[in-house]
Every structure is written in C-alpha cells, then in structure tokens.
C-alpha cells in the first residue's frame, strides 16, 4: 500500500568512515526544526544499516537529475557485495561535523548524528540530528533554485523517475 505515497523525492545516504558506502533512499522525512531532526527508514538487510549502527552517523546528500545513473546504481547494488565507489562517478569530500564524508556532486549534504533508532517492521527508522548542512549552487540560503536545478523524484517503485518543475504555483 505504500506505493500510494509516491512520487517521493530521492536522496543518497552516505554511511561508513573507513570505507564509505552510498545507498539510495526515498524514505527520508523532516522531523523537527529545533532541534534540527530528520528521519530515514533503512531496510534491516541493507549494508548501510550495519555501517550506521557501527558509526552512529550518516549524511543525507541531495542529488539532481544528472546523477540519476549513479542514484540507480547506489539503489540496486549492495555495498555488502561490491565496493560501490568503483561503480559510481561520485566524489567523497570531507564533512564538517561528522567523520562520514559528503558527496561533492550533490547540491546539499546534511550531516547527521543518530539520536534514536526505532524498529519499524522490516526497516529501522533512524532519527538524525543535523549537525551541519552544506549547499551547492542548487541552493541559496537553504532555498532550492528550482528554476535552474532539477531534483530527483521516484515516480513509483522500480526504474521510473520524474523530476521537479520550475513552475511556482501559489495557492
């Protein structure tokens, strides 16, 4: 029944310090302004879960449509079987407040420390406190430049994506 919640925005989750790994995630949600909290649901079988449990931190990176091939690879290959950095054309850069790296090619990187982990069925819902956020040209003071940048949306389960529109519609 969760398919009825789509389309959803799509993000990349970086976890791991020594050998960082990237996975794709739609199930990312804002939770609180103060403190700054977000949540991400990670399947219990994911290699990313093991890395988050080990390091108690992760980075949520915001890709644009140009990165769709990498987003698909990060979401269909497991780091448990393959070093995904060999397959991805993404560059890890040092984060400000966590040891997990950020992704240079993404338009924003939200550095999170795990403050809670809730078992929600076959996923673990990690609550992350955002310790630092860095932005690229696709944002100005946290506001997305939707006229010039196209953010990724997952149209439905499977290999079907769409993107954001530059049109602003006022209610």
Ligand X SMILES: Cc1cc2nc3c(=O)[nH]c(=O)nc-3n(C[C@H](O)[C@H](O)[C@H](O)COP(=O)(O)O)c2cc1C
- Closest approach, Cβ 30 to ligand X, in A, equals 15
Which residue, 51 or 133, has its beta carbon nearer to ligand X? Answer: 51
24 lies in the binding site for ligand X (CB under 6 A): yes
Interaction residues for ligand X, span 54-93 (CB under 6 A): 72, 75-80
**Among 15, 28, 47, CA closest to 127:** 28
Cβ-based burial of 140 (10 A; exposed 0-12, middle 13-18, buried ≥19): exposed
**Among 54, 64, 52, 87, CA closest to 12:** 64
Of 30-38, 42-50, 57-65, 113-121, the window that binds ligand X (rule: CB under 6 A) is 42-50
List of residues 6+ apart from 24 with CB closer than 8 A: 10, 11, 12, 13, 71, 72, 74, 75
Residue nearest to ligand X (CB): 75
| Size of site (CB under 6 A) for ligand X | 22
List of residues 6+ apart from 126 with CB closer than 8 A: 39, 40, 41, 42, 52, 58, 114, 116, 117
- Closest approach, Cβ 77 to ligand X, in A, equals 6
Pick from 14, 16, 20, 23: which binds ligand X (CB under 6 A)? 23
Pick from 16, 47, 103, 135: which binds ligand X (CB under 6 A)? 47
At 120, give phi and psi (nearest 5°): -120, 85
42 lies in the binding site for ligand X (CB under 6 A): yes
Whether the link from the prior residue into 7 is cis, omega within 30° of 0, is yes
Interaction residues for ligand X, span 134-163 (CB under 6 A): 154
- Closest approach, Cβ 47 to ligand X, in A, equals 3
Distance of CA 57 to the CA centre of its chain: 13
103 lies in the binding site for ligand X (CB under 6 A): no
Q: Which residues bind ligand X (CB under 6 A)?
A: 10, 21, 23-27, 41-43, 46-48, 72, 75-80, 123, 154
């Amino acid at each position: 029944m969760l398919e009825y919640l789509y389309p959803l925005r799509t993000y990349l989750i970086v976890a791991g310090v020594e050998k960082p790994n990237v996975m794709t995630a739609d199930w990312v949600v804002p939770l609180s302004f103060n403190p700054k909290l977000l949540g991400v649901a990670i399947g219990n079988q994911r290699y990313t879960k093991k890395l988050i449990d080990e390091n108690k931190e992760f980075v949520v990176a915001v890709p644009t449509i140009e990165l769709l091939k990498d987003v698909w690879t990060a979401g269909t290959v497991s780091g448990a079987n393959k070093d995904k950095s060999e397959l991805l054309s993404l560059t890890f850069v040092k984060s400000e407040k966590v040891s997990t790296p950020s992704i240079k090619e993404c338009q924003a990187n939200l550095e999170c420390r795990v403050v809670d982990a809730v078992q929600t069925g076959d996923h673990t819902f990690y609550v992350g406190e955002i310790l630092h956020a860095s932005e690229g040209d696709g944002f100005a003071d946290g506001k997305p430049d939707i006229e010039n940048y196209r953010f990724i949306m997952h149209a439905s389960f499977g290999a079907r994506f769409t993107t954001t529109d530059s049109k602003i519609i006022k209610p």
